[in-house]
Amino acid sequence: MEKAAFKKAAWINNTNIYEVNFRQYTSEGSFNAFANQLPRLRNMGVETLWFMPITPISEKNRKGSLGSPYACSDYSSINPEFGSLDDFKNLVNKAHSMGFKVIIDWVANHTGWDHIWTKNHSDYYKKDAATGDFQIASGMDDIIELDYGNPSLRIAMIQAMEYWVRECDIDGFRSDLAFWVVLDFWKEARCHLEKIKTLFWLAEADPIDNPEYLEAFDAAYTWSWMHKTAAFYKGTVDLSVLMNVLNQYEVICKNNSIPLWFTSNHDENTWNGTEYEKYGDMAKLLSVFSFTWTGMPMIYSGQELPNAKRLEFFEKDMIEWNGNYQLHDFYKTLLELHTSNPALRAADAKCNTCLIKTVEKNNVIAFLRKNENYEVLVLLNFSNETISFEFQHEKPDGKYKNVFSKELAEIKKGMKFELQPWGFLLYEK
């Protein structure tokens, strides 16, 4: 079955994602407390809310005092840490009334050790030949792996996913470690759920490593870009490596699939460091890239603060909100541009991304996004030096507006541009 057979939600081409970590977002860590943040996020321009797992957490072999939200104990219940089912329904309804879409994290590969299925459906699990017990998931001893060779497990899993669509009217799934689950299950699940509602399907899988998963999913993670840009900032690879990665995504995704760009998420922040630990002064430049290159941009909880600390994964460790959202306007500008300008639509055959050659040999990435008469011009300085340059060719030309300063500019052949270290210029025609 090819991906073309699936329906595609009409709203996904210009959307963005904001990942919500309920546990660390507020002192209460609840659905109701987070609901108070919706007006601020809507004002900032957020379109789609991704909620980290909302299901209860296993007690057996739990890590830390609160455990991992990715160690589920029941696929069809609410984690009482966050509130009740009615609380969640109210949150989704309020989000929908304000124009948000809502997707939830779905952890299909594994459960916690005392999931209800371990008691009444132990045949749903893989077994460890050496111990005769459940098979531990690779590298994580608080979770055990499900057996997708069992048709009954597949039916039960799809029914659990269906529950959240029917009961709470969610708009899609972010599929955790999607590439650890056999591809044909995702196709089966999507076929079934499509009869209820056209959903958005986001895979935690990289198109470069697992291109076949784009047959079942609308969008997928750009892990390769994330790792290579971190290596670039450390000086271990050069710009040609980054351009090669972008070319691979373009070849694989074409105009059918959407790469998801990000500088932080729950895993990266906790285990590998904040965006500032990984990218330093290059962090904002990468955000500009994420919102303007073809694809879908994502923001993690607290990046608008900005959050400069690693958040604990298995304990309560609240984001240190201070009421001063220093990057609110920065992200609002990018979010609104990405949503409103047709030149930035993802997976749209009418959109083109044209790299622009510069006269000087330098670390500038310049590109033009175009959709008929709509144009967005992006200039990025991937270096710690001030760079002056001009374009090799006449295009682009005409009247543009600087997206951040709102100043008008007449761009023409021979025009000199100057970018500060790790600086950027963003123009809208």
How far is it, in rounded angstroms, from Cα 281 to Cα 285?
8
Distances (CA, A) of 84 to 28, 70, 75, 164, 217: 14, 19, 14, 14, 30
Sequential pLDDT tens for the chain (429 residues): 345 589 999 999 999 999 999 999 999 999 999 999 999 999 999 999 999 999 999 999 999 999 999 999 999 999 999 999 999 999 999 999 999 999 999 999 999 999 999 999 999 999 999 999 999 998 899 999 999 999 999 999 999 999 999 999 999 999 999 999 999 999 999 999 999 999 999 999 999 999 999 999 999 999 999 999 999 999 999 999 999 999 999 999 999 999 999 999 999 999 999 999 999 999 999 999 999 999 999 999 999 999 999 999 999 999 999 999 999 999 999 999 999 999 999 999 999 999 999 887 789 999 999 999 999 999 999 999 999 999 987 778 899 999 999 999 999 888 999 999 999 999 999
Tokens encoding 274: 């904040």
- Tell me the residue ranges of DSSP E strands in 91-154: 101-106, 110-112, 136-137, 140-145
Count of H-run helices and E-run strands, the chain:
13, 19
Q: What is the pLDDT of residue 1?
A: 37
Q: What is the mean pLDDT of the chain?
A: 96
pLDDT score of 197? 97
Cα 51 → chain centroid: 11
Which of 173, 158, 165 is CA-nearest to residue 203? 173
CA–CA separation, 131 and 107 (whole Å): 25
Neighbours of 120 (CB within 10 A): 8
State residue 340 phi and psi, 5-degree precision: -95, -25
For 35, half-sphere exposure in the C-beta direction (CA atoms, 13 angstrom radius) is 16
Residue pointed to by tokens 């969008």 = 219
CA proximity to 415, closest of 391, 382, 381 = 391
Q: What residue type is 41 in one-letter code?
A: L
What is the per-residue pLDDT for 359?
A: 83
- Indicate the helix (H) or strand (E) that contains 369: strand 364-371
Q: What pLDDT shows up at residue 414?
A: 86
State how far the Cα of 165 lies from the Cα of 181, in Å rounded to an integer. 21
> One-letter amino acid identity for 70?
Y
Q: H-helix or E-strand containing 367?
A: strand 364-371
Region of 71 on the Ramachandran plot (φ > 0 left; ψ -120 to 50 alpha; else beta): beta
Task: Tell me the residue ranges of DSSP E strands in 304-373.
Answer: 351-355, 364-371
**Coil/strand/helix, residue 131:** coil
Start-to-end Cα distance in the chain: 41
Share of the chain above pLDDT 90, in %: 95
Give pLDDT tens digits for 171-201. Answer: 999 999 999 999 999 999 999 999 999 999 9
Gap between the Cα atoms of 185 and 205, Å rounded: 15
